[in-house]
């Protein structure tokens, strides 16, 4: 006769007591399971959550039969070695959060002294094929408050398309209005952006140089807020915080903005407040020209000439200052391919810079803590090839660990997960809370997609990191500027759109691989692993499909051909 679910635990408990087994250990149980819990699991149906819990935590029929072997060692040792390294970078994120708040009193937004007489400033605007945004940039720079007799504006144009005519005519118009602006055009692009900046410095008249990329719109009071911090003679560079014109354009731009906020709030904030080295971000900053000279000048043997010069200048003794309260609006990439190739260039450039400058850092007499932080800063993108190794070993490791118990998971997997993955959530939630104290909670809605997107970048960023490690050089290619700020606006720069050829298909394959892994976990009732694997599926399929489909509908409608060159544009930092 069938027994109701309610009577099953009671019946087993009665039998258990009747047989005087209360003091005897249950042979097949997790620690000391209470009698009613053991009964609950014993009468579990052969499917469902109760059966899974029974198989995992009560039934130990095969306990003692498994023995360590060479195959398992070959799979699990690299897997856990990678997890430990990723956990170390995760612990560093927690450290950044701790240092930011511990030393928050070290930040003073006001300059300790002011210039009695304003110094001469050169503003450099490096551009390359930016015809749709150059007018916005020049208009904003010419509107900035600063005595004209103390100001020089250089438009450094390496363009090869209609931008030359557009930029030169705009410069001529503003020059006729009395603005101190000059147009400098190069035809050989030697050294790319670094070469253009260096060429401009050769004829610059200022003691200080401010740099703005084409997709930035500096506020009218930016120069006056920054220049007086150089009244301290030891200050060589001042960096300001990026804000975003098109933050709310799409899910992608929201995630990009959160990634950048983490870098500019917590990473820059913590390093600046503790006196560690941090980097000029290539734009929205001002240099003392002597600090550039003492650092060895602009060099183009890495794809991140800004970070390279930053470390060389700080090793020469100059101090940097970061002003998070001074914003400079910018435009975020609205298409997946532009975002992925930005990140790839950033990843490759940082590894190139680490190979170049870390030996100098180690040989210098700077404190050990600065050396350690430099290693974390410049090598963080090694996590991408490590994630490839972890991904390849994940399913074999799941098979090897099929019979593991709860205790192994508690002492191994949970700490590693907390250090590596959970640290990402803590890092970006804290940065958004610091920046938006009134509506930071909505960040939780973006966190799964943010982590999934980080996973989706693995293919292109791993390729970039390996190229850097093996010394493979690549050209500096611009980021397409679409001049899109609001939802529903259409891009004016479709001709600059580029797409990756092979990477999206690899990402789709990896997504299918992890989808198969999810099916495997369900077939073995390993439900707790599935949510983690879902992030991999979403990340790879999202980046792959968006790379393949973004812009195609517009091309089909207009009949324009796609640009199949793989772009490798300027970087922006994400702090991973």
pLDDT tens figures, 255-275: 999 999 999 999 999 999 999
Overall average pLDDT of the 148-167 stretch: 96
- Output the pLDDT for position 362: 98
The answer, yes or no, to whether residue 464 has pLDDT greater than 90, is yes
The answer, yes or no, to whether residue 5 has pLDDT greater than 70, is no
Could you give the residue numbers annotated as active site?
A: 158, 306
- Output the pLDDT for position 394: 82
The answer, yes or no, to whether residue 355 has pLDDT greater than 50, is yes
Alpha carbon distance 126, 109 (integer Å) = 28
b/e code 11-34 from CB counts within 10 Å (16+ = b): ebbeebeeeeeeeeebebbbeebe
- Judged by average pLDDT, the poorest of 152-166, 395-409, 493-507 is 395-409
The answer, yes or no, to whether residue 110 has pLDDT greater than 70, is yes
Enumerate residues 6+ apart whose C-beta is below 8 A from 45.
51
* Residue, of 214 and 556, whose pLDDT is higher: 214
Tell me, letter by letter, the H, E, C secondary structure of 150-183.
HEEEEEEECCCCCHHHHHHHHHHHHHHCCCCEEE
* Residue, of 470 and 10, whose pLDDT is higher: 470
Alpha carbon distance 164, 127 (integer Å) = 10
Enumerate residues 6+ apart whose C-beta is below 8 A from 58.
26, 28, 29, 30, 33, 38, 41, 42
Tokens of 411: 């002492």
Contact 307/220 with Cβ under 8 angstroms? no
For residue 4, give Cα distances in angstroms to 9, 45, 87, 312, 490.
10, 13, 48, 76, 63
pLDDT above 90 covers a percentage of the chain that reads 65
Overall average pLDDT of the 93-109 stretch: 95
Using alpha carbons, select from 163, 192, 552, 132 the residue that is nearest to residue 331: 132
- Output the pLDDT for position 19: 45
- Output the pLDDT for position 488: 65
Overall average pLDDT of the 424-434 stretch: 96
Contact 343/574 with Cβ under 8 angstroms? yes
- Output the pLDDT for position 166: 96
* Residue, of 415 and 322, whose pLDDT is higher: 322
- Judged by average pLDDT, the poorest of 125-139, 386-400, 417-431 is 386-400
* Mean of per-residue pLDDT scores for the chain: 85
Contact 537/514 with Cβ under 8 angstroms? yes
The answer, yes or no, to whether residue 400 has pLDDT greater than 90, is no
pTM given for the model: 0.84
- Output the pLDDT for position 40: 58
Alpha carbon distance 533, 473 (integer Å) = 34
The answer, yes or no, to whether residue 9 has pLDDT greater than 60, is no
- Output the pLDDT for position 60: 60
The answer, yes or no, to whether residue 153 has pLDDT greater than 90, is yes
- Output the pLDDT for position 481: 74
The answer, yes or no, to whether residue 491 has pLDDT greater than 70, is no
The answer, yes or no, to whether residue 102 has pLDDT greater than 90, is yes
Alpha carbon distance 261, 220 (integer Å) = 23
Confidence grade of residue 522 (pLDDT, cut at 50, 70, 90): confident
The answer, yes or no, to whether residue 98 has pLDDT greater than 50, is yes
- The set of long-range contacts for 438-447, using a CB threshold of 8 Å and a minimum separation of 24, is 443/258, 446/251, 446/254, 446/255, 446/258
Confidence grade of residue 416 (pLDDT, cut at 50, 70, 90): confident
Strand partners, 244: 330
Paired sense of beta strands 285-288 and 208-211, if any: antiparallel
Confidence grade of residue 572 (pLDDT, cut at 50, 70, 90): very low
**Residue ranges of the alpha helices (H) in 133-277?**
134-142, 163-176, 192-202, 222-227, 251-261, 268-274
């Amino acid at each position: 006769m069938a027994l109701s679910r309610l009577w099953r635990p009671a019946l087993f408990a009665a039998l258990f007591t009747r047989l005087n087994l209360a003091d005897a250990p249950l042979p097949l149980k997790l620690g000391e399971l209470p009698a009613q819990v053991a009964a609950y699991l014993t009468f579990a149906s052969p499917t469902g959550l109760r059966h899974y819990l029974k198989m995992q935590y009560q039934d130990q029929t095969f306990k003692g039969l498994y023995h360590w072997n060479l195959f398992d060692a070959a799979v699990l040792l690299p897997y856990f070695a990678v997890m430990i390294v990723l956990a170390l970078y995760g612990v560093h994120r927690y450290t950044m959060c701790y240092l930011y708040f511990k030393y928050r009193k070290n930040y003073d937004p006001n300059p300790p002294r002011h210039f009695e007489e304003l110094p001469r400033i050169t503003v450099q605007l490096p551009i390359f094929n930016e015809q749709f945004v150059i007018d916005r940039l020049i208009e904003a720079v010419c509107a900035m408050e600063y005595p004209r007799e103390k100001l020089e504006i250089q438009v450094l144009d390496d363009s090869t398309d209609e931008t030359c005519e557009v930029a030169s005519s705009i410069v001529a118009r503003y020059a006729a209005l009395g603005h101190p602006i000059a147009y400098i055009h190069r035809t050989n692009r030697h050294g790319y952006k670094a070469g253009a900046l260096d060429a401009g410095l050769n004829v610059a008249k200022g003691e200080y140089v401010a740099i703005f990329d084409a997709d930035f719109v500096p506020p009218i009071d930016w120069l006056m807020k920054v220049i007086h911090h150089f009244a301290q003679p030891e200050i060589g560079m001042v960096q300001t915080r990026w804000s975003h014109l098109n933050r709310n354009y799409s899910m992608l731009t929201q995630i990009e903005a959160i990634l950048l906020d983490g870098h500019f709030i917590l990473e820059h904030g913590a390093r600046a407040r503790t006196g560690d080295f941090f980097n000029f971000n290539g734009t929205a900053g001002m240099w003392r020209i002597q600090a550039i000279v003492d650092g060895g000048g602009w060099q183009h043997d890495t794809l991140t000439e800004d970070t390279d010069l930053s470390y060389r200048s700080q090793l020469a003794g100059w101090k940097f200052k970061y002003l998070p309260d001074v914003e400079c609006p910018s435009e975020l990439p609205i298409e997946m391919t532009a975002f992925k190739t930005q990140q790839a260039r950033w990843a490759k450039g940082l590894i190139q810079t680490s190979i170049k400058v870390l030996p100098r850092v180690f040989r210098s007499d700077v404190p050990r803590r600065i050396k350690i932080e430099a290693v974390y800063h410049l090598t963080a993108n090694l996590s991408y090839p490590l994630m490839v190794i972890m991904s390849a070993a994940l399913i074999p490791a799941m098979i090897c660990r099929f019979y593991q118990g709860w205790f192994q998971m508690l002492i191994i997997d949970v700490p590693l997960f907390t250090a590596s993955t959970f640290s990402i959530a803590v890092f970006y939630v804290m940065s958004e809370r610091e920046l938006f104290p009134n509506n930071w909670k909505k960040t939780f809605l973006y966190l799964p997609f943010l982590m999934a997107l980080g996973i989706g970048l693995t293919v292109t960023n791993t390729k970039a990191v390996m190229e850097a490690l093996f010394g493979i050089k690549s050209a500096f290619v611009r980021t397409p500027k679409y001049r899109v700020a609001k939802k529903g606006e259409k891009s004016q720069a479709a001709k600059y759109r580029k797409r990756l050829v092979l990477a999206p298909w690899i990402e789709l394959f990896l997504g299918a691989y992890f989808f198969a892994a999810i099916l495997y976990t369900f077939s073995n009732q390993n439900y707790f692993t599935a949510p983690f694997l879902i992030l991999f599926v979403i990340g790879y399929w999202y980046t792959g499909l968006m790379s393949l489909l973004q812009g195609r509908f517009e091309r089909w409608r207009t009949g324009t051909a796609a640009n199949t060159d793989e772009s490798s544009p300027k970087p922006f930092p994400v702090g991973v």
